[in-house]
């Protein structure tokens, strides 16, 4: 009787748990099973792949650098500020995390488009942002920056604020403190923030295709190419997907023990 | 020494600000070369005072003048990095990724000294605290006492006019503390600026400081040399720190002292009016029955606590005149002193001191 009751509750919890696991794992297995491993090298040598790979690598690298240069100071301000507005800024920062990427793309168009909030002032100078490589970077930065800032802010909050007080009495300006103490002590946080942001930028699809379009060699990144190839040659799409999966697992390895404990 | 010369050379500060629950209003003055010991209960405003002197916290009112230079006049203030100040906190707070030498050289480097010159200076400072052989060590490779000495060297490497030490020995174990205390004393003797030492350890204050300032609830409750404070405490906290039973009382010319709680103490050194009365714990004798003979003071009191201290015991007594008595361990067993029991406490009238409140 008691044994039966325990068995029933095991089933009641075990079945949904197993289903959840299957929903996550089966697609990955399917991808691996459908891959034609011998064909992967030649698939990746397809004329369309190389430009997309090059574009993805350059735009995600630029995005990572932008995160580093702009996101680090923002993370520092958020980490040290006790002002009430800070929690609002932090909430604002998380919006791009949950926003549908397509909506992000529309928002970017409204900003940088020909008649956009900022774009209208660029148009007279003949500067056009949408549907250029710059747009790809802007889209990737829009979705990736929050990951970076939140990761680094968390690391900086872990620092003893008295270290900064001591550094300042020793004569260090804010910039010198950050350069010589603050940043060196949060390097692990910066590394995981960069890995997260870079991985998110690499996978960016919705905002990119909306705001930057799908032009080969200019705005067609790897995820966009996968989408195109799926209609033309599904096997090429699978091969590129395998490569992106491998990269994701690699990033996971970098993050392990830092974020995913 | 006149007020004018005090302003020109040493420290002259009036710290007024509120932080959290506490309103701080503390005045501090000191001559160059002096060590001011700031004591008080936790949360009383000691660290707030230190941080305001460093410029990390901002004054609401008041002033900070050091060596004739105005650091803060309540409106305009110098940032911490513009002040000739050295700060050393509990836990040492060395930069964990820098070698001891570079920790000490950090200040000179930040103030624009060249790399070689800064390292030479750092070597000199490490030598002065007896650590020249540990220059290449990272903080985690140093003992806590060595870390404290590196932190002191770092704070002094910028030639501060004002050295702020906030509980510099609190994080150390008792053995290390005694040794580091004497290292600190030796180094401070050679330092010609003003030192403000915050501590809650009376021994630190008595051995290192020339003047003591007691800060309670954001206010100065007593100021004086260690000798003055030891003989005439002027607040319950100070009484506890110097280890005397202290009573706020009214005295008359016959030697009768009436405490605020309605107790009566008899003394041979009467002071009239509002007085403080002190009774040394070692002058209290305990008896099972009403004591015979000379003592003029005898109270039947209840034992509230018994604590051991080396070869003696401190007995906390409550009743008409709350007392702490210091007795030998033998008398604890001979008299069967236990918490909750009643006992007679006797004090000779000659042991009771009074002085105006």
**In this structure, are B46 and B181 located in the same domain?**
yes
Last residue of a domain, one of B167, B197, B224: B224
Q: Listing from the earlier edge strand, what are the strands of the sheet with B297-309?
A: B285-287, B342-347, B297-309, B312-318, B323-328
pLDDT of residue A196 exceeding 50: yes
Compute the residue count for chain A.
Answer: 261
Query: Do the chains contact at A172 and B81, CB–CB below 8 Å?
Result: yes
**In this structure, are B159 and B275 located in the same domain?**
no
Picking from B55, B89, B106, the nearest residue to A162 by CB comes out as B89
Q: What is the pLDDT of residue A257?
A: 59
Lowest mean pLDDT, pick from A50-59, B52-61, B145-154, B257-266: B257-266
User: What are the chain A neighbours of B83 within 8 Å (beta carbons)?
Assistant: 169
User: What are the chain B neighbours of A165 within 8 Å (beta carbons)?
Assistant: 51, 54, 56, 80, 87, 89
The residue among B90 and B148 whose pLDDT is bigger is B148
Q: What is the distance in angstroms between the Cα of A162 and the nearest Cα belonging to chain B?
A: 8
Q: What is the distance in angstroms between the Cα of A205 and the nearest Cα belonging to chain B?
A: 40
In this structure, are residues B266 and B229 in contact, taking their beta carbons and an 8 Å threshold?
no
User: What residue of A is the nearest CA neighbor of B54?
Assistant: A169
Q: For chain A, how long is the longest CA-to-CA vector?
A: 82
Query: Do the chains contact at A169 and B83, CB–CB below 8 Å?
Result: yes
pLDDT in tens, A76-109: 999 988 888 888 998 999 899 899 999 999 999 9
User: What residue of B is the nearest CA neighbor of A162?
Assistant: B93
Q: What is the distance in angstroms between the Cα of B338 and the nearest Cα belonging to chain A?
A: 46
In this structure, are residues A81 and A164 in contact, taking their beta carbons and an 8 Å threshold?
no
Query: Do the chains contact at A170 and B89, CB–CB below 8 Å?
Result: no
Which H or E run includes B314? strand B312-318
Last residue of a domain, one of B194, B224, B254: B224
Q: What is the distance in angstroms between the Cα of A171 and the nearest Cα belonging to chain B?
A: 4
**In this structure, are B291 and B207 located in the same domain?**
no
Query: Do the chains contact at B110 and A184, CB–CB below 8 Å?
Result: no
Position B235 in a domain: no
Cα angle vertex A156, ends A155, A160, to 5°?
A: 115
pLDDT of residue A149 exceeding 70: yes
Query: Do the chains contact at B154 and A180, CB–CB below 8 Å?
Result: no
Query: Do the chains contact at A165 and B106, CB–CB below 8 Å?
Result: no
Which of A171, A188, A190 to mutate against chain B (most B CBs within 10 Å)?
A171
Which of A158, A166, A187 to mutate against chain B (most B CBs within 10 Å)?
A166
Give the fold, CATH level 3, of A42-255. Answer: MetI-like fold (1.10.3720)
User: What are the chain A neighbours of B95 within 8 Å (beta carbons)?
Assistant: 163, 167, 180-181, 185
**In this structure, are B209 and B263 located in the same domain?**
no
Angle at which helices A49-66 and A133-157 pack, to 10 degrees?
40
**In this structure, are B17 and B142 located in the same domain?**
yes
Contacts of B192 (CB under 8 A, 6+ apart): B32, B33
What are the extents of the domains in chain A?
42-255
Lowest mean pLDDT, pick from A10-19, A249-258, B208-217, B243-252: A249-258
Query: Do the chains contact at B158 and A160, CB–CB below 8 Å?
Result: no
pLDDT of residue A179 exceeding 90: yes
Picking from B83, B97, B110, the nearest residue to A185 by CB comes out as B97
Q: What is the pLDDT of residue B316?
A: 92
**In this structure, are B211 and B253 located in the same domain?**
no
**In this structure, are B110 and B220 located in the same domain?**
yes
Report the complex ipTM: 0.79
Average pLDDT for chain B: 89
User: What residue of A is the nearest CA neighbor of B56?
Assistant: A165
Inter-chain CB pairs, A–B, below 8 Å: 60
Query: Do the chains contact at B80 and A163, CB–CB below 8 Å?
Result: no
User: What are the chain B neighbours of A184 within 8 Å (beta carbons)?
Assistant: 97
Position B107 in a domain: yes
Write down the residue that tokens 């650091």 correspond to: B71
pLDDT in tens, B69-102: 999 987 889 999 999 999 998 888 999 999 999 9
- Mean pLDDT, residues B194-209 taken together: 89
Position B337 in a domain: yes
pLDDT band at B202 (very low <50, low <70, confident <90, very high): confident
Which of B66, B86, B87 to mutate against chain A (most A CBs within 10 Å)?
B87
pLDDT band at A1 (very low <50, low <70, confident <90, very high): low
Cα angle vertex B89, ends B81, B30, to 5°?
A: 70
Q: How far is the C-alpha of A163 from the C-alpha of A159, rounded, in Å?
A: 8
Structural domain harbouring B184 = 3-224
Query: Do the chains contact at A184 and B85, CB–CB below 8 Å?
Result: no
Position B238 in a domain: no
Q: What is the distance in angstroms between the Cα of B140 and the nearest Cα belonging to chain A?
A: 14
**In this structure, are B94 and B142 located in the same domain?**
yes
Q: In terms of Cα–Cα distance, which of A188, A190, A185 is closest to A75?
A: A190
**In this structure, are B287 and B192 located in the same domain?**
no
Q: What is the pLDDT of residue B252?
A: 87
**In this structure, are B186 and B304 located in the same domain?**
no
User: What residue of A is the nearest CA neighbor of B102?
Assistant: A180
Position B195 in a domain: yes
Q: What is the pLDDT of residue B295?
A: 67
pLDDT of residue B226 exceeding 50: yes
**In this structure, are B158 and B106 located in the same domain?**
yes
**In this structure, are B151 and B190 located in the same domain?**
yes
Number of domains in chain B: 2
Q: What is the distance in angstroms between the Cα of A159 and the nearest Cα belonging to chain B?
A: 11
Which H or E run includes A32? helix A2-34
Q: How far is the C-alpha of A52 from the C-alpha of A134, rounded, in Å?
A: 15
Picking from B97, B110, B164, the nearest residue to A171 by CB comes out as B110
Average pLDDT for chain A: 91
């Amino acid at each position: 009787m008691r044994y039966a009751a325990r068995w029933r509750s095991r089933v009641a919890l075990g079945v949904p748990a197993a289903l959840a696991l299957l929903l996550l794992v089966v697609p990955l297995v399917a991808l691996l099973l459908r891959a034609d491993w011998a064909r992967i090298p030649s698939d990746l040598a397809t004329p369309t792949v190389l430009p997309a790979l090059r574009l993805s690598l350059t735009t995600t690298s630029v995005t990572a650098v932008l995160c580093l240069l702009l996101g680090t100071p923002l993370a520092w301000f958020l980490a040290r500020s006790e002002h009430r507005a800070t929690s609002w800024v932090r909430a604002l920062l998380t919006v791009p995390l949950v926003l549908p990427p397509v909506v992000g793309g529309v928002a970017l168009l409204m900003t940088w488009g020909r008649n956009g909030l900022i774009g209208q002032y660029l148009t007279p100078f003949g500067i056009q942002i949408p549907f250029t490589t710059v747009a790809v970077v802007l889209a990737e930065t829009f979705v990736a920056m929050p990951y970076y800032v939140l990761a680094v802010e968390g690391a900086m909050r872990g620092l003893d604020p008295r270290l900064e007080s001591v550094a300042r009495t020793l004569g260090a300006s804010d910039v010198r403190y950050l350069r010589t103490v603050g940043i060196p002590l949060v390097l692990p946080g910066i590394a995981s923030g960069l890995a997260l942001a870079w991985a998110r930028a690499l996978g960016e699809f919705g905002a990119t295709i909306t705001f930057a379009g799908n032009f080969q060699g200019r705005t067609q990144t790897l995820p966009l190419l996968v989408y195109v190839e799926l209609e033309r040659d599904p096997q090429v799409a699978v091969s590129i997907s395998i490569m992106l999966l491998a990269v994701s697992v690699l990033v996971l390895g970098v993050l392990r023990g830092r974020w995913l404990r | 020494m006149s007020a004018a010369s005090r302003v020109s050379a040493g420290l002259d500060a009036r710290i007024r600000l509120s932080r959290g629950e506490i309103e701080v209003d503390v005045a501090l003055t000191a001559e160059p070369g002096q060590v001011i010991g700031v004591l008080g209960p936790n949360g009383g405003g000691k660290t707030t005072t230190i941080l305001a002197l460093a410029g990390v916290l901002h004054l609401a009112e008041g002033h900070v003048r050091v060596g004739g230079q105005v650091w803060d006049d309540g409106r305009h203030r110098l940032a911490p990095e513009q002040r000739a100040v050295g700060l050393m906190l509990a836990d040492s707070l060395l930069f964990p990724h820098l070698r001891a030498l570079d920790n000490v050289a950090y200040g000179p480097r930040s103030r624009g000294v060249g790399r070689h010159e800064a390292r030479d200076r750092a070597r000199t400072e490490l030598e002065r605290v007896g650590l020249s052989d540990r220059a290449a060590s990272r903080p985690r490779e140093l003992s806590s006492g060595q870390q404290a000495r590196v932190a002191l060297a770092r704070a002094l490497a910028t030639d501060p006019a004002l050295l702020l030490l906030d509980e510099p020995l609190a994080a150390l174990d008792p053995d290390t503390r005694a040794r580091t205390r004497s290292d600190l004393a030796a180094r401070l003797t050679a330092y010609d600026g003003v030192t403000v030492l915050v501590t809650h350890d009376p021994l630190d204050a008595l051995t290192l400081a020339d003047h003591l300032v007691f800060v309670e609830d954001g206010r100065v409750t007593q100021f004086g040399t260690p000798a003055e404070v030891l003989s005439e405490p002027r607040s319950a906290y100070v009484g506890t720190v110097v280890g005397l039973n202290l009573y706020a009382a009214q005295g008359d010319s016959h030697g009768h002292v009436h405490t605020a709680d309605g107790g009566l103490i008899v003394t041979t050194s009467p002071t009239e009016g509002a007085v403080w009365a002190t009774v040394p714990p070692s002058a209290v004798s305990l008896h099972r029955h009403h004591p015979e003979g000379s003592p003029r003071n005898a109270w039947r009191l209840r034992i509230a606590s018994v604590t051991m201290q080396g070869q003696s015991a401190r007995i906390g007594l409550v009743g008409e005149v709350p007392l702490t008595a210091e007795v030998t361990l033998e008398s604890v067993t001979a008299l069967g002193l236990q918490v909750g029991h009643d006992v007679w406490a006797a004090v000779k009238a000659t042991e009771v001191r009074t002085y105006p409140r």
